């Protein structure tokens, strides 16, 4: 066990679960144990929430510049020391993202989250509102309080740090929980945060345990004011229900089924390179990956040929090897789910033109590897067309009527991201107005950057954006102060 027996981080101390129970985190490629972590229960959540509440007046009482300075320092240290060494191999072993590809989002992206949040922490501005009477009004942004931060496994460091950094920038304290798959990553983040003595004890607490028990309890806990959640739409619904009786503020980033619409005048080489990258990066386990390709009939064959060439060149293998482009899927359960989608695509009459079978052989047998998979002849009644697959499966349709393709692209429950590919940027921007999504790209797809607010609408998100100044504001609430000028 590379990581040994790890402890949770509550109130600045390293602790076991109150029950003494633990669970093992596995290497997703070999099936070996990487380390054990505490199996938290309700008593541990109570302790962590109490610590975050006690730390709240201390941390929210720090000046904007003090909060900013610390976040900027964290960003530098993550990028230059801790991140480089610890994060890429852990991302590869825990969830299968090739180590050399994890560096960009999970080290540089996470460090960017600290740095941007640090910069914005200095500029949380309010308003002075003119009055016609003898009063003056001051509207300010104050911290939302104690936050439950619950994140998914697909880009653990980027997503954990995003929530921790934005909430700290706003002056909030928190309890963070990630999926059991990434429990070691979260405790490594705790190790990193514990190296900053300027961070008050209990300002961030990190616990490890299942979402169905501790996650739900965090969402319903009366000591929590705000829930910052990234994960599936189904879990988002459960969290909203759990949080409803105590009327918590919610920041929800959920699933997607993202259209990419290719016009005949698009730069096909670039479209293939960018969309192919986003489709197969992290084995397609990305909320913003293209979920539905609409390709104009005049360029369909050319696009497909280029796309298949791109996909066939990707090397699927051990994510610790520097030449691997794709690793295994994250778990047997998730593999079974993706294979069900592939099965349903075949049964419902889509044409499988690439991949679709589990890879076998000595390099693959202890993990769950699916190569790049491409379906054409897809129709809107198919499950693979309507639902989020979250795997390396591209779903392609041919179009020839602009109004109809825009109607189809809009007709989905999700509203995370979408892209239009055309040299006619004015047309793309005009058509983009008809897409109900949180983020929209022209000749690009799925930008996630610390400086750019990201998030969805409809079944893809509730309560706002993460990233940029907007992301910090999500962890604040407005407070109006009135002063009467007559003493």
Taking alpha carbons only, the member of 289, 228, 280, 285 closest to residue 91 is: 285
Residue 385 touching ligand NAD (CB under 6 A): no
Stretch that binds ligand NAD, among 38-46, 137-145, 210-218, 474-482 (CB under 6 A): 210-218
* Per annotation, catalytic residue among 220, 253, 466, 474: 253
Residue 231 touching ligand NAD (CB under 6 A): yes
Whether the CB-CB separation of 25 and 94 falls below 8 Å is answered with yes
Residue 25 touching ligand NAD (CB under 6 A): no
- Closest contact distance (angstroms) between CB of 221 and ligand NAD is 11
Annotate each residue in 136-155 with x if it binds ligand NAD (CB under 6 A) or - if it does not, as one string.
--------------xxxxx-
Taking alpha carbons only, the member of 282, 266, 313, 303 closest to residue 443 is: 266
* Per annotation, catalytic residue among 172, 283, 287, 474: 287
Residue 253 annotated to the active site? yes
Q: Which is nearer to ligand NAD, 288 or 317 (CB)?
A: 288
How many secondary structure helices (H) and strands (E) does the chain include? 16, 22
Stretch that binds ligand NAD, among 10-18, 40-48, 166-174, 224-232 (CB under 6 A): 224-232
Residues of this chain, 292-321, that bind ligand NAD according to CB under 6 A: none
Instruction: Count other Cβ atoms within 10 Å, centred on residue 133.
Output: 10
Please give the C-alpha separations between residue 425 and each of 241, 321, 429, in angstroms, as whole numbers. Answer: 42, 40, 6
Supply the DSSP string of 100-167, one letter for each residue: HHHIIIIIIIHHHHHHHHHHHHTT---EEE--SSSEEEEEEEEE--EEEEE--SSSHHHHHHHHHHHH
Choice from 211, 290, 345, 356 touching ligand NAD (CB under 6 A): 211
Residue 171 touching ligand NAD (CB under 6 A): no
Instruction: Count other Cβ atoms within 10 Å, centred on residue 306.
Output: 17
Residue 162 touching ligand NAD (CB under 6 A): no
- Closest contact distance (angstroms) between CB of 238 and ligand NAD is 4
Whether the CB-CB separation of 429 and 263 falls below 8 Å is answered with no
Q: How many residues lie near ligand NAD (CB under 6 A)?
A: 28
Please give the C-alpha separations between residue 303 and each of 149, 276, 296, in angstroms, as whole numbers. Answer: 41, 11, 9
- Closest contact distance (angstroms) between CB of 75 and ligand NAD is 20
Choice from 47, 62, 67, 177 touching ligand NAD (CB under 6 A): 177
The pairing of beta strand 22-26 with beta strand 226-230: unpaired
Stretch that binds ligand NAD, among 38-46, 230-238, 353-361, 471-479 (CB under 6 A): 230-238
For the chain, the first-to-last Cα distance in angstroms comes to: 69
Stretch that binds ligand NAD, among 22-30, 85-93, 174-182, 477-485 (CB under 6 A): 174-182
Residue 178 touching ligand NAD (CB under 6 A): yes
Residue 106 touching ligand NAD (CB under 6 A): no
* Cα distance between residue 254 and residue 229, in whole Å: 8
* Cα distance between residue 50 and residue 459, in whole Å: 33
Residues of this chain, 407-466, that bind ligand NAD according to CB under 6 A: 416, 456
- Closest contact distance (angstroms) between CB of 332 and ligand NAD is 14
Residue 226 annotated to the active site? no
Residue 232 touching ligand NAD (CB under 6 A): yes
Please give the C-alpha separations between residue 410 and each of 380, 422, 434, in angstroms, as whole numbers. Answer: 12, 18, 8
The pairing of beta strand 204-208 with beta strand 226-230: unpaired
Choice from 44, 106, 225, 253 touching ligand NAD (CB under 6 A): 253
Q: Which is nearer to ligand NAD, 300 or 454 (CB)?
A: 454
> In terms of DSSP H, where are the helices of 127-267?
156-170, 183-194, 216-220, 233-243
* Cα distance between residue 172 and residue 203, in whole Å: 8
Choice from 63, 66, 80, 212 touching ligand NAD (CB under 6 A): 212
- Closest contact distance (angstroms) between CB of 167 and ligand NAD is 16
Q: To 5 degrees, how large is the angle CA 223–CA 224–CA 230?
A: 155
Whether the CB-CB separation of 113 and 83 falls below 8 Å is answered with no
Residue 262 touching ligand NAD (CB under 6 A): no
- Closest contact distance (angstroms) between CB of 108 and ligand NAD is 17
Residue 37 touching ligand NAD (CB under 6 A): no
Choice from 98, 118, 202, 255 touching ligand NAD (CB under 6 A): 255
- Closest contact distance (angstroms) between CB of 458 and ligand NAD is 12
Residues lying near ligand NAD in the complex (CB under 6 A): 150-154, 177-179, 211-212, 215-216, 219, 230-232, 235, 238-239, 253-256, 287, 388, 390, 416, 456
Question: Any idea which residues carry the catalytic annotation?
Answer: 253, 287
């Amino acid at each position: 066990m590379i990581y040994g027996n790890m402890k949770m981080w509550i109130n600045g101390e390293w602790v076991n679960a109150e029950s003494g129970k633990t669970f093992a985190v596995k290497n997703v490629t070999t099936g070996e144990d990487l380390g054990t972590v505490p199996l938290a229960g309700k008593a541990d959540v109570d302790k962590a929430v109490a610590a975050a509440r006690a730390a709240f007046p201390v941390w929210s009482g720090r000046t904007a510049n003090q909060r900013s300075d610390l976040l900027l320092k964290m960003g530098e240290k993550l990028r230059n020391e801790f991140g480089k060494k610890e994060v890429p191999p852990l991302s590869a072993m825990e969830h299968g993202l090739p180590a050399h590809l994890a560096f960009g989002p999970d080290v540089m992206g996470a460090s960017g989250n600290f740095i941007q949040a640090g910069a914005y922490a200095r500029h949380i501005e309010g308003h002075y509102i003119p009055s016609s009477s003898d009063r003056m009004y001051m509207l300010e942004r104050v911290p939302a309080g104690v936050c439950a931060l619950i994140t998914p496994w697909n880009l653990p460091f980027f997503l954990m740090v995003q929530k921790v950094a934005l909430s700290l920038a706003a002056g909030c304290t928190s309890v963070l929980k990630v999926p059991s798959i990434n429990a070691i990553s979260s405790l490594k983040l705790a190790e990193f945060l514990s190296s900053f003595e300027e961070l008050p004890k209990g300002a961030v607490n990190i616990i490890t345990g299942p979402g169905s028990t501790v996650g739900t309890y965090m969402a319903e806990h009366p000591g929590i004011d705000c829930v910052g959640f990234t994960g599936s739409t189904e879990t988002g619904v459960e969290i909203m229900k759990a949080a409803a009786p105590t009327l918590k503020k919610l920041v929800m980033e959920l699933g997607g089924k993202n259209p990419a619409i290719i016009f005949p005048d698009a730069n096909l080489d670039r479209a293939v390179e960018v969309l192919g990258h986003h489709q197969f990066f992290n084995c397609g386990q990305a909320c913003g990956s293209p979920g539905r390709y609409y390709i104009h009939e005049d360029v369909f064959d050319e696009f497909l040929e280029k796309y298949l060439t791109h996909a066939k060149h990707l090397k699927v293998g051990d994510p610790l090897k520097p030449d691997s482009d794709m690793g295994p899927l994250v778990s047997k359960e998730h593999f079974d789910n993706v294979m069900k989608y592939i099965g349903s695509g075949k049964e419902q009459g889509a044409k499988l033109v690439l991949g679709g079978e589990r890879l076998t052989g000595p390099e693959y047998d202890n993990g769950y590897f699916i190569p790049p998979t491409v379906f054409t002849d897809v129709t809107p009644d198919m499950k693979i067309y309507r639902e989020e697959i979250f795997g390396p499966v591209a779903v392609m349709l041919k179009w020839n009527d602009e109004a109809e393709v825009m109607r189809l692209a809009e007709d989905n429950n999700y509203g995370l991201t979408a892209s239009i590919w055309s040299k006619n940027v004015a047309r793309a921007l005009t058509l983009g107005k008809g897409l109900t999504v949180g983020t929209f790209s022209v000749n690009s797809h799925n930008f996630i950057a610390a400086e750019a607010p990201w998030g969805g609408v409809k079944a893809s998100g509730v309560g706002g954006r993460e990233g940029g100044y907007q992301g910090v504001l999500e962890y604040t609430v407005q407070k109006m102060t009135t002063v009467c000028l007559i003493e």
